[in-house]
Chain A
Amino acid sequence: MRTGRQRGGFVEMVRRANQSPPPENSVLFRLATLVSVLAGVLACSAVGEITAATAISASSAIGLGMLFSFATRRRSHGIVKIILACAVLAVFVSFVTQVFSAARTGELSSIEVPLAGLFTWVQVVHSFDVPARRDLLFSLAASAALVTVAAAQAISPGFALFVGTWFVATTTALACSWRSMAGGRGRLPAVRLTALSLVVIVLALALETLLPAPRASQTITLPNSVTTPLSLPPGTSLTEGGSLPTEPAKAGSPAGPVRVGGYLGFAGPLDTGIRAALSNQVVMRVRADRPGYFLGMTYNRWDGQSWTTQSHGCRSTTLTNGPFEVSPGVAGGTTNVQTFYVATTLPNLLFATSVPETVYFPDKRLILGCDGSMRSAIAMTPGTVYTVVSQDNEAPLSVLLADHIPASSDPSIIRQANLELPYPYPKAEALARSIIRSRHATSSIAAEVDALEWWMSTHTHYSTDIPPLPRGVDAVNSFLFGSRVGYCEQISTALTVMLRSLGIPAREAIGYVPGSFNPLTDLYTIEAKDAHAWVQVYIPGHGWQNFDPTANVPLEPADPGAVLLTDIGHQLARLPWAPLGSVIGLGAAGFGTNAWRRRRRRMPRGWAARAAARLEAIGRAAGCPRLGSETLNEYAARLSVRLRFEEGAEVQGTALLEHAVSLIVTEAYGCRPSGDSSAIEVAANLRQLRGLLNRGPNGALLRSWRPGRAANGTA
């Protein structure tokens, strides 16, 4: 008996749990949900997690499914449910198969791709069975997952479009969900929702500033190029262009179709006489633990006008089968994991802070040059992703200054390659010596370099707008003893030459500086104009150290919060305040006038409306507010029952009420004015009514009521 009852209870419980909830009728709710789901799908497609064809077919299927489930929301369709269950099963099986095949080929890094597909197709299947609010909320949650999966691969700030769309749609959908929970009537409070959205955005920004930025070194699987194997972009060819015969072919050349981000130095001899304008084109995005000089290659041979690389018997080596151990023995530095997302066709150089230790690159070969450069055997096309783990050997200047190792203990190979000058530079040498003497900087190599660097920063003028150098003119002499105007190439070359003339091994390094940090994507955006040339000085015991007489490159990891705040500040400061202010002022004035006019319109015009508002206020204060659907007569009838008049004055009160209301409605709807006498009569009636109520049993309640507040309530 007892078990039977228990079972009955259990069955009842299960039945109740499976009971179909009431169908959701709000079209806006469904539309908003559809938009947020589509935002997720399109975001996945935009970052390349699913193909465009998949995205289009999935989107149309989801739209169809939503229509279908709206049309059949009141029906319970068992067969459809069974079919959908089978479809979900199939999607899962396909997902598991893809994951296993990925695992078998060892590409664990590309698991996100089947994940995005899984979420997309689950959305498609689910969209055919969303009769109720619960199901729509599930769709919303799944769309959040979809957006997140896409976000994991998103590197461009343009992704904000998807996030924004998704946010607006989801907020709307949630508001609709509450409206449906609370009875499903009325319009959405648009103003309140906008204010809430702003609060949400402010909260999100605050969180974003507080939370530490995700670091590249914390990645479980280092990102790699998603699309392997890489192929050449159409219209380009691999050309022989390496300075050594063993070097691989590289894409493009200064004259070729691919202009390597506008900077000519990456594709051949660095001719300091040529001028080229550098664009704002984004060439790479870098996720790095710490920013630094992203070194591309170095030059050691100076001929008076241009830099070239000479091997001096060193041979470049080819590593096969990554991950590539570039310099296995390096230790003692700080680990700096950098992931490079190539955004435009680049030369076949791999950039990294020095000294690179391990390289994850989507190819079977990697070529190491003698100059410390790493080159790929394939073209670096947009979409290529590679990761370099470096051990940064950047030593602080204070440490370097304290070192007293004599210059003569350098390895000869380095001395030989990096002290060469085509001809003596007596004037430059004399200048260098006088600078060092005047700065009393003879204690260490670093001190000497620092003194020269100081001189460069104070006595030369940085400008990219200089005329080309004629052939046959020595670049250093013409710079140092001529205009003293130049940019990084001229300044660093002059420094190198001065150092060499002093007998300090130095070489010209080119690469990129980190560019700007995007606090949302946590990526350093490197544009073509961030190409840079600086000086590497060999300091015994510390190896090659970067010295930069021109740019001030931050070497600390960027704090996204601070960057975000300064960015916002900069953006605000950069806004054209004068026109904007006038526009905003005009808008505010217009809005204010409109609001005032609307308020006036809402403000009871004419005495009848004012009297009606007053009557409503009296009723509300007495705890009997007017219902929306009640006409004034009905309200008065209800009031006459509800109101507590003074003892013995019930009949009088009711009569006053009825008379006042009849006068009010006659004035309001009579289509002809009934004169001031009615107005005076009504006012007197209402006053009297208040008196009767004040002296009634609930008088205390009424007396505490202030007309002002209640009048606001009417609006």
Chain B
Amino acid sequence: MPRPERFVAPVLGAAMLLVAWEGVAHASGSGWVQAVGTVVAGMLVVGMIAPAFVARKLELSVVSSPGDATSGEPFTVTVVSPRGLRCTVLDPGGGTCAASARVPAPVTVVPPYRGVIRRIRLQLATAAPFGLLWWTVEREIVLDRPVLVSPRTAHSLAPLDRVGRSAEGDAAPVASLIGDTRQLRPYRLGDSRRQVHWGATAHSGGLIVRETEERTARPVRVMADLVGDPEVTEREAGACMGTVAAYLLAGSRVELETTEQARRICAPVSDLAQAGRRLARAGTNPYEDSTEAPGGSLR
């Protein structure tokens, strides 16, 4: 149902104006003042009520929406409507934009939490045809593809002084084809021809191969259990993100363990975008059950 917006002042003002007008008409005893007054009253009444009928017919469709976003940072969804209107994002919070008829307009959405946004609740407002009073309706639009909101990167939980070092020495070097030479050993079946150390072979008489090692650490496993209050899980997810970032920067391999739709998932992540998407999907989605999530807006 359309609702008038900030209507008390305009309606009271109009009513007072008309009463005063009628008073003047009666005081001056002039019929024409009254006639003009009724015309003005008609214009005011139509101007204030007609938007309700227009608002009932307001429509909006999404032209484009992004796939990724970061909590607390705005992203834009482009919408288009057959009529001119004002559009405010109600859930999750965001900005207001004025959209001309049939011209795509960008709406700014500011997601407060990480999670997956599938639909946006909007408040559409119109004051057609005279622009005297705004009437609003609420509409929910379903995005063509969900927006994965990654948490904002917070401080790392890992002991920073150890992040770099731990990567070097912790785990035993792994034998590999590349890297530094670790040792020489006699040829075993299956060794590559290219590994043969010809100098040592010449000295020893038997085939000697080079064994190399790669200095790798054991992958760091970050576990994110993002269930419960959105505020708390948001903080946790941010910290998670920070930790992943810190280890990734230090060159460690990182595995992220999360719960997605009651399924435990443990998989390596190679960059922050991947981690953000994983964390967006993890745990409870604060955007799915808007009745339980406290407050959908930042401001």
Contacts and interface: CB of A to CB of B under 8 A. Distances in A.
B26 A623 contact: no
Given A175-B129, A200-B39, A520 B144 contact: no
Interface in B26-47: 26-43, 45-47
Interface in B216-242: none
Contacts of B100: 182-186
A124 B50 CA distance: 33
B85 A174 contact: no
A213 B31 contact: yes
A218 B29 contact: yes
A274 B104 CA distance: 83
Interface string A622-642: 011101100000000010001
Interface centre among B24, B25, B43, B83 (most CB of A within 10 A): B43
A167 B30 CA distance: 19
Nearest to A287: B29
B130 A174 contact: yes
Interface centre among B22, B27, B99, B131 (most CB of A within 10 A): B131
B88 to A, nearest CB: 15
Given A182-B85, A185-B100, A214-B25, A522 B43 contact: no
B82 to A, nearest CB: 8
Contact of A175 (B21, B35, B130): B130
Interface centre among A208, A215, A523 (most CB of B within 10 A): A208
B128 interface: yes
Contacts of A185: 84, 100-101, 103
B42 A214 contact: no
B126 to A, nearest CB: 8
Interface in B56-71: 61-63
B129 A147 contact: no
B148 interface: no
A223 to B, nearest CB: 7
A330 interface: no
A208 B22 CA distance: 11
Given A163-B39, A623-B142, A627-B102, A154 B47 contact: no
Interface in A581-629: 623-625, 627-628
Interface stretch (A6-14, A96-104, A191-199, A354-362): A191-199
Interface in A129-173: 144, 147-148, 150-155, 159, 163, 167, 170-171
Contacts of A150: 32
The range of chain A's interface size is 35 or more
Contacts of B131: 174, 177-178, 181
A167 B40 CA distance: 8
A211 interface: yes
A152 B33 CA distance: 6
A150 B32 CA distance: 9
Contact of B62 (A152, A215, A623): A623
A219 B27 CA distance: 5
B150 to A, nearest CB: 23
A144 B84 CA distance: 28
B24 A182 contact: no
B128 A182 contact: yes
15 contacts: A150-B32, A174-B47, A178-B129, A182-B101, A184-B100, A186-B84, A199-B46, A200-B46, A214-B26, A214-B30, A215-B29, A219-B27, A520-B31, A521-B35, A623-B61
Interface of A: 144, 147-148, 150-155, 159, 163, 167, 170-171, 174-175, 177-179, 181-186, 189, 192-193, 196, 199-205, 207-208, 211, 213-216, 218-220, 223, 287, 339, 518-523, 560, 623-625, 627-628, 638, 642
Give 8 closest A-B pairs by Cβ, nearest first: A182-B84, A183-B100, A522-B31, A151-B32, A178-B131, A203-B42, A200-B42, A174-B130
Given A148-B21, A192-B129, A638-B63, 20 more contacts: A147-B36, A163-B39, A171-B130, A174-B43, A174-B47, A178-B84, A178-B128, A182-B84, A182-B99, A202-B42, A207-B42, A213-B31, A214-B28, A218-B27, A220-B27, A520-B32, A522-B34, A625-B80, A627-B80, A642-B144
